[in-house]
Structures are given as structure tokens and as C-alpha cells.
Amino acid sequence: MNKINTDIVIIDSGVDLNHDSLRKYNCAGISIKFDEKGNLYLVDEDYKNDLIGHGTAVFFIIKNTVPEANVFVIKLFEQEYIDETYKLIKTLEYVYNNINCKVINISFGITCCDDIPGLKNICEKLTCNGVTIVSAFDNKGIISYPAAFKNVIGVDTSILCKKIEDYKFVTNDKLNIIGMGLQQRLPWINNTYIKVAGASFVAPYFTAKVYRLKCNNVKNFDDILENLRNEAAEVIKKDSCEREEFKLFKINKAVLFPVNKEIHSIIRFNSYLNFEIQDIFDNKYLGNVGKNVSSLLNVDLNKQIKNIESLDWESDFDTFILGHVKHLSILTKKDYIRDILEKCYKNNKNIVAFDDISEYMDLIDCFKSKKLKIYYPTIFKEDLNNDLTKLRLIGKPVIGVFGTSSRQGKFTLQILLKQLFENDGYKVGFLGTEPSSLIFGANEVYPMGYEGNVNVSGEKAVKLINTLIGRIEDTDPDIIIVGSQSQTIPSDYGNIDMYPLAQHEFILGTLPDIIILCINEYDVLEYIKKTIKYLEIISDSKVIGLVLSPLSRNIQFSILDYRINILTDAEMTEKKKEIEKKLNMNVYLLNNIKEIDQLYRKCVDYFQTSTYK
């Protein structure tokens, strides 16, 4: 079948060629519809029946700006703007297979895109075929698609831009153009005119501009961007990031030190690791040296905890995993970070550190000179994208794990859920907040926990968290798990440290669809109720269950020495029944894998049966 030859394709609500302002123009077109099974079919003349006026206005702008251009109109929607990704993908596939054109104008955007890889792929195919796509961003300021793709010219607006020619060019992979934000008087349905504003009615001017560039033999996408940049009234540059990024590397055999909360997770899930734990060490004053971790942590690992001073640095481990040691260093008057870094350097060992070690640049430079590997999780403002105020709505289901205090097993629960999903064949995206998150297969880490290495706050923190979860969505997971730290709402109001501000930022940045709340046996019921209410209001989410920690109140003998009371099975069961009766909500026991499996099944059922987005 011969392809249709045209200059510009408009994908919109059709066009009313009977409008007085359009009678001198003509165009070809087609209406694309879908049957109940999602199959595409064509209706020939229906494209001339614009029921809402949006497409008529877009057509007018393009033809009024470049009257010489041949335009092909594809009517894709009638009453509401398209929000189903597969319909746009199928429409673009139709263009790719049936139409030769220079430019495609898409004056709408999908904000909650459930098939980013699929939409991105067809856009890339069109670009490789010499077609330039110009797309408007959503007018609410949300990141939308296909405008946000690197190979699509994304157009937004600002009231600071008073004229079409006074646009701003943004050096960014997502947002390219900020155009006029004032109202325009444009033709609409029923032979009327209305005043409208928005990116939908600015993008067509840039479609026309791109068409003229192509007519002048500027055809390469990067060359088109460069020309748009040169003609802009202002160029907004993305801040350059001069910070060196240290990524997690492959570990073969590791030693661990000290035996604290973060190291506990590595020991507890040792069978989940892709490396061998050779030895576990601690400071001799903490009372753990000589104990076996199998009895200390009730795990299936027969390893005796050794004195760090007895470590044989010439043994064949390749990586030293250094947990948080700043308090230990203060109390023992020994700089453990520098001491361990120096010994690793001297003995050619790689290091994974949970503390921020950026102040030890002299030693880091020494590591680099030997090509030794270093990883420590740190977040800086330089990690932010220059998307201005735009945030991304996540199209994949998101499960959030939150709590009423610290030391509840929130990270343990995240790993258990991740394992259960993966065992059933799901691809899991994971945003962790523990420094060890990447060791357990997390895609991204936002280390906001104890001794957290996060150097942003407020709206920048929310934006950065949103960026991280967006990166995870780009990997096309079936589900995303996120986990917070400590409590969710203040337990008291007499000290600023009691205010969980970072947790508030994390909730807003991740916006889970469902939430699992970890609780303690000693939590006041009213406090649990307030936490549930807060989470459901702030994130428009649903708390689908409570997970009861087996830990009773911690007894702290010193800053370094904790004694933890463990509830008996009978105590756990009794408390579970009491809370379920008073709160009318399912409670699951963290130390009971059958109950965690029930919780997992409830998550699966929720997403399979609910219209959660």
C-alpha cells in the first residue's frame, strides 16, 4: 500500500472546516477509533467533525502560520483528551506505517503513562525515520508524555512570555520550550471564537517553526534544537554537576563491621546476597565479640563475631562493608573511618561505607590512584533535574512501607515483599532509604535514615525523590516498593528533632497507592489512628494493613549498647487480636512468614481488582 505524503500531521479532536476562518483551507485526514477489544479501526470523514473545538484551534494556528504546508488531521478523541497510552501508541504506529511527514503535532500530554517504554519506542522510531514530534506539556505543570521524551520537542508556557517570539529555550532532556502564556482568540466549534491559553495552543507555533526549518534543509533533531536555541529570547541552562558519583560495584567476598542495625539486615538476608560474607567484626567493648550471629539474630548463618583488631587484612576478601561508626568513633576516640580507609588502601581492598566519607578526599584520591572502588550513598542538590517545578505522576503501582517509630523492621518487610513478588515472576522496582539498599537490589537509594547523607530539603527534596522514583519507572517494573524511616507523625512537640520533616518530604515525593504501616505493641491506639489518617490524607492513598513488630521497648544502657525485648508468639497473637478488634483493620505479624505472604496476596489482589490510578 502506498503511503500518504504530507508535511504536518495533527493528532487531536479533528477540525471544523466549515468555520468561517477555515473555509479557505482544505486538508486530508482520518478518524481513529477503537473497538471494545482495543483494536484500531478507521472512519474516513469523521475527522471533519470536531465536537470540542480543540483540534480546530490547533489547525488554525498551524495553517495561519504556514499556509503552504500540507496538513493531515487524525481525530483521536471527541469529548475528553486522550489519557490511554496504548491509543496514542497505536495512532503513532499508524503514522509510522502509513504516512510520510515532516512534523507531528500533539497538543496534549498523558500524565499517568502506564507504558513509557512502548510510547518512547515508537517516538524514537519516528525520529529515526526523519519525523520531528512537537508535543505540549500538561497545563497543570505535571510531567507529561510524549513531551518529556528526549527525542520530542516539549513545549510549556509562562505568563512571563508575552509574545510568541519571546520564548525561552531550556537545555534539558525533558522540557525544551517555554512559550507565551497569555490568552489567544481562536476559532472554536459552532463558528465561534473563544479566548484560550495553554501549551496546547503554543506548541502549534513551534510545529510550524520546525516545518520551516526542515524546508530550509535543517533536518537533524539536534540541529533543529540548536536553531530553536539560537532564536530564543532567553536560554535557561541546566546547572552542571561537578560532583563525582560513586556507584555500587560488584562484590565477591566481604567482611562486615560493626554489628549494628544496618549490618543486621545484611546478616539477616545473607541468602539473598550475591556475594559471600567472609567474616563479621565488632568493637570489643560492645559485648558482641565471641557470639554467633545465628543465635544473636536468629538467622541461618554460622558466623562468630570477631574483634575488629584481629582482622587479617591479607586474607582474600575484596570488600570491606563499613556500617555507621561516627558515634563509635566519638566514644572510643578513634577515627574508624580514616583508620579503615587507610587499611583498605594499604591492603588493596574496596570499601562500601554507610557514612558520608566525602571529607576524606585525600584518601579517596589515593583509592582512585590504585583504581580501588569506593561506594557511599549520598544525595546532593546537583542530582536534581532542571525540570523547573514539574513533577512526574507514576503510572506503575507503588507500595509504601511506613512506621510509627524506628527499629520496627520496615526494611526487613520491604525485602520480604520484594522476594515474594520476585518469586511469583514480578519485576520489582525498589527505592530504599537504608544505606545498604543497593546491596539488596534497590534501583535507587535516598539515604535519609540514621546518619543520613541527604543534602537537600523542602521542595528540592520532594522533587529529587520524585526524580528517583521516575528513574525506577523508566526501567518498566511491574510494581515499585518504597520504604520510609522512623515515625511518620510527631510523637511529641517539644523538640524540633521530634518533627519527621524528611518523612513528610518522602511521602510527597513517592505518593504510594497503598501503604503498609509498621506498628509497635506499645503504640497508643490513638497515635496509630492519627498516623493512618495522616498518610491517607496527605498521599490520597489507602493503608491496607498493619504489621506488628516483635520488638518490645528498647532498653538503652548507653549510646552504643541496646538491649531488645522480644515478644513471645503468644504475646504477639494476643496483641494482634486486640488491635484488629479496636481498629477494625488487618494486623500481620512480621515474624510470621505465612502472615506476610497473606499481606503480599492482599497487595496483589488490590492492584488486580482496584482502579487505583
Q: Give domain status of residue 204, yes or no.
A: yes
> Quick one: 221 and 277 in the same domain?
no
pLDDT band at 559 (very low <50, low <70, confident <90, very high): very low
Residues 372 and 386 both lie in one domain = no
Relative to beta strand 28-34, strand 40-43 is antiparallel
Let me know whether 165 and 97 are in one domain. yes
Residue 428 falls inside a structural domain:
yes
Judge if 84 and 229 occupy the same domain. yes
User: Cell 502506564, residue?
Assistant: 114
Distance CA 598, CA 216 (A): 64
Does residue 50 sit within a domain? yes
pLDDT digits (tens, 9 = 90+) for 1-45: 689 999 999 999 999 999 999 999 999 999 999 999 889 999 988
> Is residue 245 in a domain?
no
360, 376, 392: which is the final residue of a domain? 376
Asked if 96 contacts 125 with a C-beta cutoff of 8 angstroms, the reply is yes
Distance CA 595, CA 613 (A): 27
In a shared domain, residues 90 and 200? yes
Measure the CA–CA gap between 603 and 416, rounded to whole angstroms: 13
Q: Are residues 480 and 598 in the same domain?
A: yes
Closest CA relative to residue 9, chosen from 64, 78, 76: 76
Cα 330 from chain centroid (whole Å): 37
Show the CA angle centred on residue 26, arms to residues 24 and 30, nearest 5°. Answer: 150
- Identify whether 246 is part of a domain: no
Instruction: Tell me, yes or no, whether 139 and 259 share the same domain.
Output: no
Q: Quick one: DSSP state of residue 110? A: B
Of the three residues 352, 376, 400, the one that is the final residue of a domain is: 376
Biggest alpha carbon–alpha carbon distance for the chain: 91
Domain shared by 372 and 397, yes or no: no
Q: Evaluate whether residue 243 is within a structural domain.
A: no
What pLDDT digit, counting tens, does each position of 365-397 carry?
999 999 999 999 987 665 666 566 889 999 999
From the candidates 200, 484, 539, 549, which is the catalytic residue?
A: 200
Q: Are residues 23 and 43 in the same domain?
A: yes
Is the distance from CB of 340 to CB of 425 less than 8 angstroms? no
C-alpha cell at 106: 500533539
pLDDT confidence bin for 487, thresholds 50/70/90: very high
Please tell me which residue in 13, 19, 50, 54 is annotated as part of the active site.
54
Question: Looking at the 3D structure of the chain, how many domains does it have?
Answer: 3
96-128 pLDDT, tens digit each: 999 999 999 999 999 999 899 999 999 999 999
Q: How many helices and strands, by DSSP H and E, does the chain display?
A: 16, 31
Domain boundary among 181, 209, 236: 236
> Does residue 42 contact residue 90 with C-beta atoms inside 8 Å?
no
Least confident of 79-93, 137-151, 323-337: 79-93
* pLDDT band per the 50, 70, 90 thresholds, residue 606: very high
Containing structural domain, residue 471: 382-609
Domain assignment present for 112: yes
C-alpha angle 176/210/226, rounded to 5°?
50
Candidate list 12, 318, 355, 387, residue with the active-site label: 12
CATH number of the domain to which 361 belongs: 3.40.50.720
Complete DSSP assignment for 263-327: HHHHHHTGGG-SSEEEEEEE-GGGS-TT-BHHHHTT-S---BEEEGGG--TTSS--EEEE---HH
Contacts of 30 (CB under 8 A, 6+ apart): 42, 43, 44, 47, 72, 73, 74, 75
- Is 269 in contact with 436 (CB distance < 8 Å)? no
Clarify whether 54 is annotated catalytic: yes
Average model confidence (pLDDT) across the chain = 92
145 with 173: CB under 8 angstroms?
A: no
Specify the CATH number for the domain of residue 149. Answer: 3.40.50.200
**Does residue 513 share a domain with residue 364?**
no
The predicted model gives 82-99 an average pLDDT of 94
61, 251, 360 from 356: Cα distances, Å: 54, 20, 9
227 and 262 in a single domain? The answer is: no
CATH value at residue 390: 3.40.50.300
Do 391 and 371 belong together in one domain? no
Is residue 613 very low, low, confident or very high in pLDDT (cuts 50, 70, 90)?
low
pLDDT of 57 > 90? The answer is: yes
Does 181 fall in a domain? Answer: yes
Instruction: Tell me if residue 12 is catalytic.
Output: yes
